A and B are shown apart, each in its own frame.
Chain A
Amino acid sequence: MPLIKDSAFVQDAFVTVADDAALPGGAAIVSLARFQKERDALLARNAPLGIQLKAPENPELLGEDVQRFSVIVLEFPAFRDGRAFSWARMLRERLNFTGEIRGAGHFLYDQIAYMKRVGFDAWNVAEGFPLEQFHRALTEITNVYQPSADGKKTIRELRATPRP
């Protein structure tokens, strides 16, 4: 699946590994179940590690280990399931996770801007998804009312800023 990061399509350095598949030599993304079962071995590998969380899986389950991951993939089983919006914010604001938060699964063009606001910085998009669409999604609404993980100035702050 194509991956958008830093406003461009990039080569995905990670391989998402099924629970019953052998681990590759390089960077790998595993499920929470596999991580919990093979934690020590996975952390001992000499390659970047990622984890993919399902919608009901609270990132707090990772405990201190959260900082050991280079990538945390948050899955949308259906675009209506908005739990990942809270998980991403929690990762950024409570758990101080600075690695990549990647959106995967079924989300819509119309959710990309919200995802960016809560802390996602990488998107697994459908084959053929045009990059211009991605940029368009982020420019539909210029200003925002709420503080969030993107640190964007809110309308309230803009109101308080003296204008020329």
Chain B
Amino acid sequence: MYRYDEFDAQFVKERVSQFRYQVERRLAGELTEDEFKPLRLMNGLYLQLHAYMLRIAVPYGTLNAKQMRMLAHIARKYDKGYGHFTTRTNMQFHWIKLVDVPDILEELASVEMHCIQTSGNCIRNVTADHFAGATDEEIEDPRPLCEIIRQWSSLHPEFVFLARKFKIAVGATPHDRAALLWHDMPVEIVKNEAGEVGYRVYAGGGMGRTPYIALLMKDFVKREDILAYLEAVLRVYNQDSRRDNIHKQRIKILVNTIGQEEMQRRIEREFEEIKASGSLQLPQEELDRIKAYFAPPKFETLDDEMPIGSYDFENWKKTNIHKHRAPGYAIATISLKAIGQTPGDISHVQMDALADLMDQFGIDEIRVSHEQNLVLPHARKRDLPAIFARLQKLDLATPNSGLITDIIACPGLDYCDLANARSIPIAKDIARRFENLDRQHDIGELKIKISGCINACGHHHAGHIGILGVDKKGVEYYQILLGGSGAEDATVGNIMGPGFSAHDIGPAVERVVDTYVKLRQNGERFLDTYRRVGMEPFKNMAYLEQMYAAH
């Protein structure tokens, strides 16, 4: 994985001092909260319901064992002993004191980590496929480009006071695991007819109150031109976005107001000029230098046989193991969705133990997925039973990756200042209802995503079943959306109708799922059945109880 050189190290160190000075000025009353807010947000610091929340960047979801231990240490020393992995593959601590933040940043810098641009109206942490570098499906590892984008976007003088936040993801596989088209600017690694590798760039995806799937901006951008093109997109956005209504300031609104063609035309004009100036052209040497950091580990020549183990191990294998590019290796997903637990939460004990496990089994890096799970990208197949046994002891061996209990949920009203409703108890309730593993396997791939407010941090628009928490006169209600997708067939889910109470939402979801089980044909997934039969049958069943109650 990437290692800082002297320049990166100095940059992050100076950024810590810069922020320390900002905190000093805030504590001394020289900065108003209004003035301090964008500065702290640019460093991942939120003021939430109970305390400050600090969001630590995990660039493209990659961590080494040392960094994992540091996160455990921070959880122990500065928080309540646990942290939370987010849908942007970052780590959040929810019980932080403002005075401690500069020291935390300094500790993070010692293991090449930071909080730069994990929030605020700037270019956010760049995400990628969590199987990057390990799957045989990809054209190439997307992370070198992510790292190049990370550096280019770090304190970019022109783009740190954008109209709104700006999210970039890089994909490299036909099957999208990074919710690519939901980003402000998705970048897809592609091969053209001549066999050259380049980039397809989209713009204008986003969740929030007005969900949009990104539209194509340019079919093929040459390797050396990619930063020039990205800069062109950002410049058009910075110049032309509305600034008069916070709900209409994302790039998705600009793109859909002026239209795809006009957006393409404006970008093209900037692109030609930036390209001609040559200053952002990416030299092959720099690309090679960055790529070298992401070279795959030296794979041993191993027997490709998959070990057979206990009943539990076999169940885990069914869902949590994915094909690796090298024989004798596997990609293993560590579920952070134990039944009854908060999705994405992890304790300091678990983090330390995972770091030990990585060391013991020679796994250099671990990944965070946008689905709030962890991934061991390069595990030897023969080690899997031992790894599984360790994970079981840590309560990290839940065999539910991709199943109905593998629920995405934002922190919701339990923590978040913006939320209208709690998400975590709903996620826990639904997971308990479907705890039976045979039933989960029978239901198959079904992605439930829960947001506690319209900001959609829990990706409810992209859920096969999405759940949106709303507030009706001080009471929490939950709307159901059906048919969303965050994969390569990205679609926006449709709202079913009026919301359910916290008490009724679980049973309503069960009725929706039971309806699917009755209606499905020939191995259809929930999403396929919904696409075939539409909303009506699900809606009729979901509201059934209410109808009886009303008559």
Contact = CB atoms under 8 A, between A and B. Distances in A.
A and B form one complex: yes
Interface of A: 55-56, 58, 79-83, 85-87, 89, 93-94, 108, 110-111, 113-115, 117-118, 140-148, 155-156, 158-160
Contact of B14 (A79, A83, A94, A142): A142
B10 A80 contact: no
13 contacts: A82-B121, A83-B239, A83-B243, A110-B22, A114-B158, A115-B157, A144-B155, A144-B157, A146-B152, A146-B157, A147-B280, A155-B7, A160-B286
B18 A85 contact: no
Contact of B155 (A56, A81, A141, A159): A141
A50 to B, nearest CB: 22
Contacts of A145: 11, 151-152, 154-156
Interface string B139-163: 0000000000001101111111111
A5 to B, nearest CB: 19
B277 interface: yes
Interface-centre pick from B155, B156, B161, B162 (highest chain A CB count, 10 A): B161
Contact of B15 (A83, A94, A141): A141
B525 interface: no
A159 B288 CA distance: 13
B154 A160 contact: no
A51 to B, nearest CB: 18
Q: Is the interface of B mostly helix, strand, loop or mixed?
A: helix
Nearest to B273: A94
Contacts of B18: 110, 140-141
Contacts of A144: 155, 157
A158 B15 contact: no
Given A86-B239, A89-B158, 15 more contacts: A56-B243, A79-B38, A80-B38, A82-B158, A82-B161, A85-B238, A87-B239, A94-B273, A108-B35, A113-B157, A114-B155, A145-B152, A146-B156, A146-B280, A159-B289
B279 interface: yes
Contacts, number: 100
Given A58-B239, A117-B157, A141 B162 contact: no
Contacts of A159: 5, 7, 286, 289
B326 interface: no
Contacts of A156: 151, 283, 286
Interface string B278-306: 01100101100100000000000000000
A54 to B, nearest CB: 11
Contacts of B158: 82, 85-86, 89, 114, 118, 146, 148
B66 interface: no
A56 B238 CA distance: 11
A40 B14 CA distance: 50
A150 B266 CA distance: 25
B243 A81 contact: yes
